[in-house]
A and B are shown apart, each in its own frame.
Chain A
Amino acid sequence: MRRTPVYIICSPRPLVGKTLIARLLSEFLSLQRGAVIAFDINLKEPSLLDYLPKLTETADIDDTFGKMQLMDRLILNDGIAKLIDLGFHAFDEFFKMADEIGFMKEAARRGIAPLVMFVADTDRASARGYDMLIRQIPPHALLTIDNEFVVRGELPEAMGYGRVLAIAALPVFLKTYIDRLGFSFTTYLRNEKDTSTELHQWIRKNYFSFREIELSLVPQRQ
């Protein structure tokens, strides 16, 4: 049975690169699968909605109605990849609700493949958030993002046991370049003829990593 991936990009900390990773992954999924639905629960930070308005919907989990609107769509096995850019302010509430309603179990029953992508940082809130996740999320559904631009060194030891995806830091001038609202990673790959540029290689490396993750979500044949 074909499984529908649901990527949840999260951190209990602001400004750790969640929206950047959400943009990259959304563009990759759009390129790879032809369609993706992104949900922005991140309205208090730089927002995915500003970068990818055609792919992104806003979601709100402050009340039960908002939770229903979001989760009842995430649990649909319709073959369309979903992605959540989960703001730091909604981190605790989202996972508390997911635990209460048995999201991971129901997802497994319905052929949904959730992947929690935890953007690591070295502070206490991140350590507490990660500790909560490893108690709630099965190891195969949890991926730690080592964003070099944020962590700047070794990952905290406790976060290094499971699967880790490293995102290399870009020079500040390139960071400023990709942070422009009109910038598209896929368009850059298509239009930039010089494949040796640092940004070109950075995007390709990350797309390759995402492709590996996508493949890991497909059940292997016996």
Chain B
Amino acid sequence: MAKPAVIVVGADKGGVGKTTVSRTVLDYFSANNVPTRAFDTEFPRGTLKRFHPAVTEIVDVTSTSDQMKIFDTLNTASASVTVIDVRAGLLSPTLASLRDIGFLDAAKSGQITFAVFHILGPSIASLDEIAETANYMQGAKYFLVKNFINNTSFFEWDQATYNSYFHRIKDATEITIPKLNEMAYEQVEVASVPFLKFVANKGQHDETENYSFVLRGYVRHWLAAVWSEFDRIKLTDIVGSKEAKEKTSRGGEK
């Protein structure tokens, strides 16, 4: 059986696009036939669940019972990959909890694959987050995600300062999420479907929809760019998918 993999997507700052990135990750695994489950920690509302209801459960990651629900089932769940969308402000506490329950040690010893997608905001506070998060990153794959989807310009950053933080974490990798046309983004929000279904002109229950060809084109183009970043970091290899070497047909441009 494949080694279980856990991907945590988070940031301590709100509104930087954590759930959007989680959605692209779920779409990517879906297109690559990697069985995946997701936990949405935006308790009790659950934005991720709205888009991926079949694979997503809403949990309160601060409660012990829900922590058990996530981590005690890693070896028994049918899905080998677990994506956790950590709500704003909870990244550092979540990582601290993972350390406390011995999860980080398990990752360090190679029993579990652990990756963190740290979504960066434009403010200097994000750089402080990097420094804080770095303390937990031994044994984890650490990805710093610059998310331009909401037109972030990262204007506050001095590149030299950023580099000094970036290099504190050994093997940290940078990922860039490009901007998506605002109207296209809005329409996917309104449709409440995964990006893949929007591109395929499908509704929540796979019924044929009548989305704009232009907007679907923008989403397809954007999703292909995001996935090429995931291809670049060899995300399917990281989670140990057997299908990693097989090129499956996708709803994107490939």
Residues of chain A having any CB pair with chain B under 8 Å: 64-65, 67-68, 71-72, 75, 97, 100-103, 106
Q: Would you call B213 and A72 a contact (CB within 8 A)?
A: yes
Interface residue? B240 (CB, 8 A): no
A residues within 8 A CB of B182?
A: 64
A-B pair count, CB < 8 Å, reads 38
CB-CB under 8 A for A102 and B184, given A71-B214, A72-B213, A75-B213: no
Q: B212's closest neighbor in chain A, by CB?
A: A68
A97–B183 Cα distance when bound, in Å, is 14
With A72-B212, A102-B253 known to touch, is A64 a contact of B181 (CB < 8 Å)? Answer: yes
Q: Are B214 and A102 in contact (CB under 8 A)?
A: no
Minimum-distance CB pairs A-B, first 4 = A101-B217, A64-B183, A68-B214, A100-B221
Q: Which residues of B contact A97 (CB under 8 A)?
A: 214
B interface, CB within 8 angstroms of A: 181-184, 212-218, 220-221, 253
Q: How far is the CB of A75 from chain B (nearest CB, A)?
A: 5
- A97 to B218 CA separation, bound complex (whole angstroms): 8
Distance in angstroms from A143 CB to nearest chain B CB is 24
Say how far A84's CB is from chain B's closest CB, in angstroms: 15
On whether the beta carbons of B217 and A102 are closer than 8 Å, the reply is yes
* CA gap between A37 and B239 in the complex, in Å: 52
- What chain A residues lie within 8 Å of B213 (beta carbons)? 71-72, 75, 101, 106
Q: Is the pair B217, A64 in contact by a Cβ cutoff of 8 Å?
A: no
Name 17 A/B residue pairs within 8 A (Cβ), A-sorted. Answer: A64-B182, A64-B184, A64-B214, A64-B215, A64-B218, A65-B183, A68-B212, A71-B214, A71-B217, A75-B213, A97-B214, A100-B218, A101-B216, A101-B218, A101-B220, A102-B221, A106-B217
> What residues of A have a CB within 8 angstroms of the CB of B218 in the complex?
64, 100-101
Closest residue of chain B to A98, judged by CB? B217
What separation, in Å, do the CA atoms of A67 and B217 have in the docked complex?
11
Q: Give Cα A102 to B220, complex, Å.
A: 9
Q: Bound complex: CA of A71 vs CA of B213, how far in Å? A: 7
The CA-CA distance from A64 to B215 in the complex, in Å, is 8
Q: How far, in whole Å, are A75 and B215 apart by their CA atoms in the complex? A: 13
Instruction: Kindly state the separation between the CA atoms of A134 and B77 in the bound complex, as whole angstroms.
Output: 51
A72: chain B residues within 8 A (beta carbon): 212-214
User: Chain B residues near A75 (CB, 8 Å)?
Assistant: 213
Q: In the complex the two chains form, what is the Cα distance from A102 to B252 in whole Å?
A: 11
Kindly list chain B residues whose C-beta atoms are within 8 Å of the C-beta of A102.
217, 220-221, 253
Are B220's CB and A67's CB within 8 A? Answer: no
Q: Which residue of A lies closest to B183 (CB)?
A: A64
| Closest Cβ neighbor of A101 among chain B residues | B217
State in angstroms the CA–CA spacing of A68 and B184 once bound together: 10
Which of chain B's residues have a CB closer than 8 A to the CB of A64? 181-184, 214-215, 218
